[in-house]
Structure 1
Amino acid sequence: MSHPPVQPQAAARLLEAEDRQALTTRRLAAEVGVSTMAVYTHFGGMDELVTEVVRESYARLGRALAGVQETADPVTDLMALCRAYRRNALANTSLYATMLGFTPTSDDQRWGAQALQAPLSAIRRCLASGRFRPAEPLLLAHQAWCGVHGLVTLELGGYFFPSSLAEQCFEGLLRDFAVGAGDTVEAAARSLEASRSSRPGPAAAD
C-alpha cells in the first residue's frame, strides 16, 4: 500500500510551533493525515525528517538567490540578493523559521555556507571595484546576513508598528550597510534604486 508523501513544509509548521524533542512521529502523522508508517517510509524517522525540512529550507533559499541576475553594479547585486533573501523568507515562513531555529548540525553549516556563496561573491566584487573599503569578505557577508536576518525575524514576528515600517527599515538597512562598508551615500542610493527592479528569484510558498 502506497502512502501519500509528507511534505517538508507541513513538518516545518509543526516544528515552528513545537519543540524539536516534543514533536513525535505520531503527532506529525495525525496533523498531515497519514499513518506513522508513511513518515518512516519516506524519511526513516524524526531526525531524518528534521534534516529534510532544513535541507528543503536551504534549497529554496539557494534557488531564490540563484535567480538574481548579475549586473555591472556589484552593490546593486548585493542589495538584490538581500531582497531575494527577504522575499523567500516571507513566502516560506515556516520553513524559514525552522532553517535557523535549531542548533546547527554539520549539514546545516554546510548548507548555510553554500547559501552565503552568492552574497560573498557580490561582496568580493564590491571590494574589487573600490566601492567598499578593504575588509574581510566573509566577515562582511556575515554582517549583511545578521542585519537582514534580524529584520526578517522581527517582520515575521509582527514586531513592526505599523507593519509598513518594515519596508522602510529594510531599505535603510541596505543603504546604510553599503555606506558603512565604504560606499558613498550617492552611489549607494543609486544602487538601492536599481535593486528595486531586480529580477526576483523563485520563491515557492509554504
Structure 2
Amino acid sequence: MATSSSAAAGLSNGIPERLIDAAVAMLAEEGPSAIKARTVAARAGMSSMVVYNYFGGVPELLSAVEDHGFHQLGAAFAAVGASEDPVADLFTMALTTLAFARTNPHLYDAMFGLSTRATYRPTPTKAERRAGHSPAFNAAYAHVIAAAARLGVDGGLAVEDPRAAAGALWSFVHGYVSLDLANHFAEFDDPVRQVLVPMGVTFCVGLGADRASALASHEAALLRAWHPGS
C-alpha cells in the first residue's frame, strides 16, 4: 500500500491523476482486460512500480478510476440544476447518464461492477459492505435523491420517500442504459423516445402526474439534453 509520504507527494506531482487518466483512456479503447500495472504505467510514461507505490495494486487503482467516474457523473448532474419543471430535470439527468455511459461504456461497467473481473476488485471492509457504496458514488447519487424529492415538493407528485423513488428511477434508467450499451434496442428507430420516454412517463403517472404534462416535460428534457441552447 502507498505510504502517507508517497501519497502526499503524489498529490503534488499529479502521478495518481496521470495513472487514473491513463486507465480511463485504456478502458475506453480496450476494455478492462487491458488494465494491468505495467500497461497503465507505460501509458502514463512511468514504471509499473508507481501503481503499487501510489495505489497498492490494480484493484485499488480501479477503485480510484470508478471514483473518478462518479465525480464526473456527479458534476454532470450538478450542471443540470433545478428548474421549475422537476420532471424535466430528472429526465435530463437520465439522459445525462445515458450520454456518459455511451462515451465510455467500459468505465460505466466498471463503476457499476458489471464487467470488471472479481480478482480486480478490492475486498470491501465491513463498513464498506454496510454502506454499500463509496463516498464518490453517494455524492453523485445525492443529486438523484434531491431531484426525486423535488418531484413531491415542487411537482406535487406523491413522493413519500425520495430515497425509494430515487431507487426506482435509478433501477429503470440503469436497466435501460445497460441494454442500450449491449445494442438490445436495434429494432427501434429511436429507442430513447420509444422505450425510455414511455417508461419515464409511466413512472410519473404512477406518482400522480397528468400523462400529457409528464410527456411534455420529457420532451422538454430531450430538447434540453440533445439540443442545448435551442
Interval containing the TM-score (normalised by the shorter chain): 0.7 to 0.9
Partner of 1:137: 162
* Aligned positions of 1:3-18 closer than 5 A: 5-6=18-19, 7-10=22-25, 12-13=27-28, 16-18=31-33
Partner of 2:216: 190
**Over aligned residues, Cα RMSD in angstroms?**
3.1
| Counterpart residue type for residue 102 of structure 2 | L
| Counterpart residue type for residue 77 of structure 2 | L
State the 1:9 CA deviation: 0.6
Greater Cα offset, 115-124 or 9-18: 9-18
Highest relative contact order (Cα 8 Å, sep 6+), 1 or 2?
Answer: 1
Q: For 2:60 and 2:30, how far apart are their aligned partners in 1?
A: 13
Partner of 1:70: 82
Identity %: 28
- Cα deviation code 1:99-128 (max 9, x no counterpart): 011679438433222212112112212112
**Alignment gaps of 5+ in structure 1:** 201-206
State the 1:191 CA deviation: 0.9
State the 1:27 CA deviation: 5.4
Say if 2:72 is the partner of 1:60.
yes
Q: For 2:213 and 2:219, how far apart are their aligned partners in 1?
A: 10
Work out which of the residue numbers 127, 134, 137 in structure 2 matches 1:112: 137
| Counterpart residue type for residue 188 of structure 1 | A
Partner of 2:3: none
Structure showing the higher helix proportion among its residues: 2
Partner of 2:182: 157
State the 1:149 CA deviation: 0.3
Aligned positions, number: 196
Cα 1:158/1:74, change in 2 over 3 Å: same
- Cα deviation code 1:33-71 (max 9, x no counterpart): 753124335534223211211111101111111110321
Cα 1:60/1:134, change in 2 over 3 Å: closer
Partner of 1:170: 196
